Amino acid sequence: MFKRILLKLSGESLAGASKQGIDTERLAEYAEQVKNIARIGVQVGIVIGGGNIFRGLSGAQKGFDRVKGDQMGMLATVINAMALASALEAIGQPVRVLTSIRMEPIGELYSPDKAKRLLNKGIVVILAGGTGAPYFTTDTGSSLRALEIKADVMLKGTRVDGIYTADPEKDPTATKFTEITYDEVIQRGLKVMDITATAMARENGLPIYVFNMDQYGNLEKVINGEQIGTLVKP
């Protein structure tokens, strides 16, 4: 069983079937899944994307200044972090939001040492605001935070049950990998994460496990060692 994890959640998944905003049922399910693993002793750090609210790169393509667009995307991740924190608090799970840029009282300013101290106390830590700098995605922010807090693994919760040879939603002949190396991911051009995030994880030996977070109970299955997704290893 993993002692400390970094859970990466997409903003799109948080939106549920509506594809935008926050689905309260999905939010509650995520919170319950996180609490279920926290109560058995797993230390949980979480990074959430903001694509259900605003995506900086998409905004730039529509005329927004890229830097301002990315800053808006960072704020979107903070909104999602606050929503998940509220859902966790509602079911009795201690949680703290740390932000990459100063914005008290919404959240405390992030530092790796502060995050690790909280994790050691059994408090779920939501790491919001991405890296705090433009031109970086929340994938890269997840790799960075996972390494900074010394997570055993990064768990990437998506709406598909792993990594396939092609997009399974578009290609019915696509086959799933149980395990794959970073070199294979790069050579095959598989879009597991962006290039910067993939290179960072590869160079620092950070394993990533991709699984379907939208299926209730899957997070605990991953923690218990069930093979329901795809492991990306150095």
Domain boundaries, the chain: 7-233
Strand, coil or helix: 88: helix
Q: Which tokens belong to 7?
A: 């859970």
Q: Is the pLDDT of residue 19 over 80?
A: no
Gap between the Cα atoms of 57 and 47, Å rounded: 18
Better-scored residue on pLDDT, 31 or 71? 31
Q: What are the tens digits of pLDDT across the range 221-230?
A: 999 999 999 9
* Residue whose C-alpha is closest to residue 158's, from 222, 207, 215: 215
Architecture of domain 7-233: 3-Layer(aba) Sandwich (3.40)
Is residue 117 within 8 A of residue 139, CB to CB? The reply is no
**Backbone φ and ψ of 176, nearest 5°:** -95, 140
Which pLDDT score, from 0 to 100, does residue 90 have? 98
157 Cβ contact partners less than 8 Å away, ≥ 6 residues apart = 7, 8, 9, 10, 13, 211, 212, 213, 214, 218, 219
Confidence of residue 57 (pLDDT cuts 50, 70, 90): low
Q: What does the mean pLDDT of the chain come to? A: 92
Mean pLDDT of 133-142: 93
**Backbone φ and ψ of 39, nearest 5°:** -75, -15
Better-scored residue on pLDDT, 77 or 195? 77
